[in-house]
Amino acid sequence: MLRLGRREFAAHEPVIMAIVNRTPDSFYDQGATFRDEPALARVEQAVADGAAIIDIGGVKAGPGDEVSAEEEARRTVGFVAEVRRRFPDVVISVDTWRHEVGAAVCEAGADLLNDAWGGVDPKLAEVAARYGVGLVCTHAGGAEPRTRPHRVTYDDVVADILKVTVGLAERAVALGVPRESVLIDPGHDFGKNTRHSLEATRRLGEMVETGWPVLVSLSNKDFVGETLDRPVKERVIGTLATTAVSAWLGAQVYRVHEVAETRQVLDMVATIAGHREPAVARRGLA
């Protein structure tokens, strides 16, 4: 059982985490939800389309203008509080690697800290423990935040992913983070080239076998773009194909831009796998 905020999710229940970037320079939406009004509209639509988690980020993942912890908090804390007020049952996640920001958003009502940079700030897990919130433990290959990989190599990328993410998860629980609120993430594209991300996808079942709930952040990423030779705005089909494979292999949480499309993919895979009944089943019975 995965527990996040007020919500509980069964082992085979696929969960959608909708991306809401509070940045003016996000790689995909180019700042479409930087201002409060469109960001809140995005939250409302994402929840209506089937998202259980809203993931709020105040700093783009890639290189760009420097964003201080104070500025990151300014972009996220008040927004977290407003989302908490308007949507009391939604799980609020904040994508941050900084413990100062983590503490501020937890005070404002966040339920989950999404540490996409692999524990680069070890105090973030301490914050999660102090506030009793969830934590995403991600493999980033030792990369510094907001850097791109350059000729990175692994003897076995999945073995490294398992060692790092399980180690981070076990440390979090030892610090006091609720075990049922810890997830592991292979970190597609983070500290990896395209072949590494493809192998992580192909062998995702090995992460699932650890028993920790697995989160995947696949949406419109470069490994999809390079695999199909498509620019950012033409990666949805490749993303959904990768989502279907990940669902079949047992991932549970999906961090996405396209919520409605992802919901259909996950429902279809869950039904084929026998974990969900068809919404309608009249064919051949009338």
Orientation angle between helical segments 157-175 and 194-202, nearest 10 degrees? 70
Residue of 84, 20, 80 lying closest to 55 (CA atoms)? 20
Q: Is 233 a catalytic residue?
A: no
As beta bridge partners, residue 113 has 94, 135
Q: Is 221 a catalytic residue?
A: yes
Please say whether the beta carbons of 3 and 12 come within 8 A: no
What is 179-219 written as a DSSP string? GGGEEEE--TTTT--HHHHHHHHHTHHHHHTTSS-BEEE-T
**Residue 48 token pair:** 């209506």
- Given 98, 192, 221, 235, which residue is catalytic? 221
- Given 255, 276, 282, 283, which residue is catalytic? 255
Catalytic residues: 221, 255
